[in-house]
Amino acid sequence: MTIAPERPRLRPPAEQAPPPPGPERRRTTGTTRASDVYALLGAAAASLALTWLLFARLLPFSGAVGFVIVAYVLFLGLYALLVSFDEDGPAVRDRIAGVVVRSLGLLLLAVLVFVVAFTLWEGRKALVHLNFFTEDMSLAGPLEPLDVGGILHAVVGTLEQVGIALAITVPTGIVCAIFLTEVPGPFARLVRTIVEAMTALPSIVAGLFVYATVILALGTERSGLAASLALSVMMLPIIIRASDVVIRLVPGTLREASYAMGSSRWRTVWHVVLPTARSGLTTAVILGTARGVGETSPVLLTAGFTAELNALPTSGAQVSLPLATFELVKSPEPNMIARGFGTAAVLMLLVLLLFVLARIAGGRGPGQLTKRQERRRALASRQDAARWISTAGTAPHPGTASTAGTATHPGTASAAGTATHPGTASAAGAATHPGTASTAGAATHPGTASAAGTAPAPGTGSAPGTASAAASRSSAAPADRSVPPRSTP
């Protein structure tokens, strides 16, 4: 009987193997969707159209400020309505909060750009003249053209006053901040309270304090030094408070590691705390400089006003850029007003330059080295490596311990595999001379004591008085036969 071969069964479509997977769809981590963009643009367009309709057709409103406020309020309401079609209540509130925060940021940026651009535009007529930066106002009157006179006296006065104030406040403020952080106690709390109260001190009060104590009480004249002292009173609380906050952020584990290595408190502060907080301390100095560089009333009370250049800060009246700006813009003459705006533009550029220099000097984070420091570290590493190599290649002197494979002098201890002189102790596997003690595995000469498992040298016999350990391959008889053998019953 012949059996027909079974025909292969075809699996139903449901049991067919799945097709190979295609390329994986790329996932995006952003939360912005097309519907969000459409809702934002639609709310903005609708709010502008409704505001125009209210101001132009329906209500008797006018003014650009009112138009912007009404349009923004309508924009928030329409945006919340459009978002509510796709999201629930918490998501709608989150979107509205995000829009408000971003709007405030854009508003502040727009105000800053407007102030800078407006100052530069109004002072453009004075800024294009070279004499504006190289001359003072001693020969320029209100009706003089812009090619006569300049603000060199104000630039010099500002640099000297701010420089002296920084020389006083930076070391004093940082030391005071270190005291408040590293030496806690009742006195430190009192000092911190006073510093926090002085941060809100009005500038006119600081000027009056220096005027009463330095000029009236001590009898000194108005000068740039007195103005620097007044600016120091304004800048010192800002630097102390900001530096205190920054030093507090230094991890305590860094201090503990330094103390564990035996460093004192002063070395820990100098080599650990200050380098770690360097960037933050630079920010504190920048904040203090920004507070003092724009003050006008303390300088007016303590240094007076002059149109001539005075490069000596200890005597005579001296003017600064903010005070010169204040005096120039009071004049009704267009040229004097242009000089005033030009002075304000120079002040902004000078402050920007000071901030950039301060950021470059202290903007590196902890552990980051300059190019010069990296070269010095590399040179020191090469010198250390050469010193270690030269030390390792020298031969040991008598009385020192020698390493494996080296030849030692008499009286020294030799390592494994070394050849020793008479009277020295040899390690395992070393060939010793007569009269030396050999360890396990060493070949001994006549008259030497061999350890367990050692074999005497070929052709040598164990002399009387030598002791061989158990399991020794030596065929020599025991040297001591005085002990009788144990008798068996």
Give tens-digit pLDDT for 249-288: 888 888 889 889 888 888 899 888 988 888 889 889 988 9
φ, ψ dihedrals at 17, nearest 5°: -65, 140
Give the pLDDT confidence score for residue 114 in this predicted structure. 94
Whether 475 has a pLDDT exceeding 80, the answer reads no
242 with 288: CB under 8 angstroms?
Answer: yes
Whether 129 has a pLDDT exceeding 50, the answer reads yes
Residue 240 CB: number of other CB atoms within 10 A?
28
> Crossing angle for the helix pair 278-293 and 334-362, nearest 10 degrees?
170
Give tens-digit pLDDT for 137-147: 988 888 888 88
203 with 273: CB under 8 angstroms?
Answer: no
Give the pLDDT confidence score for residue 228 in this predicted structure. 94
393 with 409: CB under 8 angstroms?
Answer: no
Give the pLDDT confidence score for residue 162 in this predicted structure. 92
As a whole number of angstroms, the distance between CA 274 and CA 345 comes to 35
Q: Is residue 368 very low, low, confident or very high in pLDDT (cuts 50, 70, 90)?
A: low
For residues 432 and 63, which has the higher predicted lDDT (pLDDT)?
63
For residues 358 and 444, which has the higher predicted lDDT (pLDDT)?
358
For range 337-347, the mean pLDDT: 93
Report the chain's mean pLDDT, rounded to a whole number: 77
Give the pLDDT confidence score for residue 159 in this predicted structure. 92
Give the pLDDT confidence score for residue 478 in this predicted structure. 43
For range 146-167, the mean pLDDT: 92
Lowest mean pLDDT among 225-239, 266-280, 429-443: 429-443
As a whole number of angstroms, the distance between CA 145 and CA 129 comes to 11
- Residue (of 213, 212, 211) closest to 223 by Cα position: 211
For residues 256 and 399, which has the higher predicted lDDT (pLDDT)?
256
Give tens-digit pLDDT for 168-223: 999 999 999 999 988 888 888 899 999 988 988 888 999 999 999 999 998 888 99
SS3 of 387-415: the string is HHHHHHCCCCCCCCCCCCCCCCCCCCCCC
- Please give the C-alpha separations between residue 44 and each of 75, 135, 138, in angstroms, as whole numbers: 6, 52, 55
Give the pLDDT confidence score for residue 86 in this predicted structure. 84
Give the pLDDT confidence score for residue 412 in this predicted structure. 42
Give the pLDDT confidence score for residue 394 in this predicted structure. 61
- Residue (of 253, 280, 445, 293) closest to 365 by Cα position: 280
Quote the pTM value.
0.63
- Radius of gyration over every alpha carbon of the chain, rounded to an integer in angstroms: 45
